[in-house]
Structure 1
């Protein structure tokens, strides 16, 4: 890969720069042109070009991501790419508010913030870039990314392709930029750059807290440890396959994915049978102990991938090499071979098991039997650790559904379906890969990347004498 030293841009990849200074400077200049010369119809045209390009390349991008990061599953990467491309709201989500009276007319419109600095995770490398780009450009902004180092090549590829699509649609170059070799230091440079007016981060509490300390407006998408409740009224023939599908999606890399199940005693056996019939493998106690020893560690080493939940003192941590790996690979490592396809590993355990408390990012799902709904509710709320990210319940008792929703207080809450339905995947509504629980924006859209600008016409527009 070569570099054009006159600009600092990687010569064969548009928007990819060797220094933060050049990535920021070119992004800021592009945003100025964009804001001054491109209206809502122009933005819509450019966003359509972005959507089309991502749909065209969704399979290639999925393959690239798995090959580079060694995480997840290609079909699910493709599905996430397509979801981000087509379900992220565009400029149409912006609304102008008007108030009129005999005293005059006041209009409040959504104005661009400017150049936004954004950090992306390795777990949702392409979807986060696409989702952020659509939302931020829809608001009239430009964005400079500090991508995850383990996904830098795939990220550079899609940023190059998106810039080409924008230019082909008669838009300005460099609305989307990144630094070629992203590090913690380059993130700090982006955060300090005066041209960068807002910071957006998708990751753990350390990242979010760092952005909040920057002194700039920050949007932080934090951790999740989403619990599932299955109560006495649930239809387990619905719950079983949906829980398996949700917890195994992309090998449970998503923060929104189901991480632990609390099921009432009356439904536990039937639920487990339903899950087994839909691709889950039930570990016995000896196998569960072997899996725990294989994929978790109590040692703090550089090879530890620390889950990003808040407020816990942990004894165990995830072994980095097992994050996002296939269930069959984990089984094979403990000496278990199966004839049928295994999507998810499940096992029964107690509430204090580390798999219940950790945000495990692999297809291993603990199941806790509970004597009744209230017991399940209490454990689910505690296991979520106040992340306020996502939760779901399988129930046909509206009182239980309402009680859980109020107690858990999560940004995403689903009933009788996987948490992914709350992001428009198999459910109604829009999507976002920046779910801002810590800073309160929730499911982000272009509106969250704008500021309010008020125009007031006094005296009904009449000349004051």
Structure 2
């Protein structure tokens, strides 16, 4: 979910609020929390050390005095609370960040609320033999620092809260500055639900003003045992330099292959659905398509039938100069002003007027075009004509940049599916559906907003944020045969 890694790297020791980007409106009264001082205001603190200390005390209590059944009960209260506030938070995210589509945010929220596993995934492994009884269980790290993105602010807070406290941890969030108001509202509401369900205060905390300086302080604080981050590779690399255990969810630029055996109607429908979902701000969303020659024209037809607007060559180059900008050292990077904006609004900049029901613009480009190589995070989808499946694979690997995040294929050829999977090596690999199915949105399996490709945990859940501990009872103890 990388908006501008280079910019994040350059200011890693500075305040995130200086990163720039889309301007936001003044905070409505509902966003403004009352001053809390060192005591905090339902989990929101003025000082990062106070936020860490409160979470540390809560974690001692959580681990010592609450059973697994208590965790399950409190997590169910979090789910009920979040469901009741979904529409409110989705409206506030669009208002504060200026990105995405309300109706798609509702679907994302319901997925993380309903499909993020709780303690049930913390299975115990046991082995009994002549030498005794061995148990291995998942134990908490303690206090976790979690950095959340502007693209999925409250979705990530809900998802990380359920996963992390299910494992017996507590969390100090460093939210994105351009989503700090709705993030604080979400965190305070969840804290209230936790307390009303009989849980301790401050299981989740944050500072009112999130900064990278706060992240540095948490990295240096011995009471923070694990650093987790969802965002760009600049952020992930900064976490990896902290010296602590890190779980990092970084950038993606997911390619899609459509081969000669594909169901073209299905491909057009699902690619349109996935690439336009929440205006393409998700890191796992389809970012570029490589279609073999025999499937190419049919795919363009099906995408337009779904409602996509096909740019001509001149319009495509006009758009490049608006939504992308020159990058220091050469090449292009995204102009953050246009990240997550509606397709209709983007097309207006080049004099094209389409109805609001048009959710996606598509363009025909070569494999080395900037729209292919830059992770845009907006509903503009480049389509590349390939002479063969082998060329499509080769071009897709280049476009994915070795992120090993997400890729998909539309094919009925099992050999093609297998060959692409082995070469692309992505954490998420989807066949014959929109890529969001790979995180449980319209597909099987649990949901997460923290897809930890760079550090290897993959589709995270409660066990991802736990330590493995072994207990051994030797000399045949408890062995009854």
What is the TM-score of this pair, normalised by structure 1?
0.94
State the 1:187 CA deviation. 1.2
Which of 130, 142, 164 aligns to 2:158? It is: 130
State the 1:338 CA deviation. 2.4
- Answer yes or no: is the 8 Å Cα contact 2:36–2:46 preserved in 1: no
Counterpart for residue 11 of structure 2 = none
| Matched ranges for 1:64-463 at <5 A | 64-298=92-326, 300=328, 314-339=330-355, 341-461=357-477
Is 1:9 matched up with 2:40? yes
Distance across 2 between alignment mates of 1:314 and 1:72: 29
- Answer yes or no: is the 8 Å Cα contact 2:344–2:356 preserved in 1: no
Instruction: Give a deviation string over 1:364-405, Cα, whole Å, max 9, x none.
Output: 000000001001011001110100000000000000000000
State the 1:203 CA deviation. 1.3
- Answer yes or no: is the 8 Å Cα contact 2:36–2:45 preserved in 1: no
State the 1:117 CA deviation. 0.4
- The 3-state SS of whatever aligns with 1:431 is coil
State the 1:8 CA deviation. 4.6
Distance across 2 between alignment mates of 1:228 and 1:350: 15
State the 1:241 CA deviation. 1.0
Closer/same/farther in 2, CA of residues 320 and 339 from structure 1, 3 Å limit: closer
- Answer yes or no: is the 8 Å Cα contact 1:231–1:263 preserved in 2: yes
State the 1:291 CA deviation. 1.0
- Answer yes or no: is the 8 Å Cα contact 2:292–2:386 preserved in 1: yes
Distance across 2 between alignment mates of 1:459 and 1:278: 68
Closer/same/farther in 2, CA of residues 269 and 94 from structure 1, 3 Å limit: same
* Equivalenced residues, count: 447
- The 3-state SS of whatever aligns with 2:306 is coil
Counterpart for residue 29 of structure 1 = 57
- RMSD between aligned alpha carbons? 1.3
Distance across 2 between alignment mates of 1:386 and 1:121: 22
Distance across 2 between alignment mates of 1:268 and 1:423: 28
Counterpart for residue 50 of structure 1 = 78
State the 1:235 CA deviation. 0.7
State the 1:286 CA deviation. 1.2
Closer/same/farther in 2, CA of residues 8 and 38 from structure 1, 3 Å limit: closer
- The 3-state SS of whatever aligns with 1:277 is helix
State the 1:184 CA deviation. 1.1
Closer/same/farther in 2, CA of residues 17 and 340 from structure 1, 3 Å limit: closer
Greater displacement, 268-277 / 101-110: 101-110
Distance across 2 between alignment mates of 1:150 and 1:338: 29
Q: Which runs of 4+ in 1 moved over 6 A?
A: none
Runs of 5+ consecutive residues of structure 2 not aligned to the other structure: 1-32
Instruction: Give a deviation string over 1:315-360, Cα, whole Å, max 9, x none.
Output: 1111111111000001111111124721100000001100100011
- Answer yes or no: is the 8 Å Cα contact 2:324–2:332 preserved in 1: yes
- Answer yes or no: is the 8 Å Cα contact 1:8–1:18 preserved in 2: no
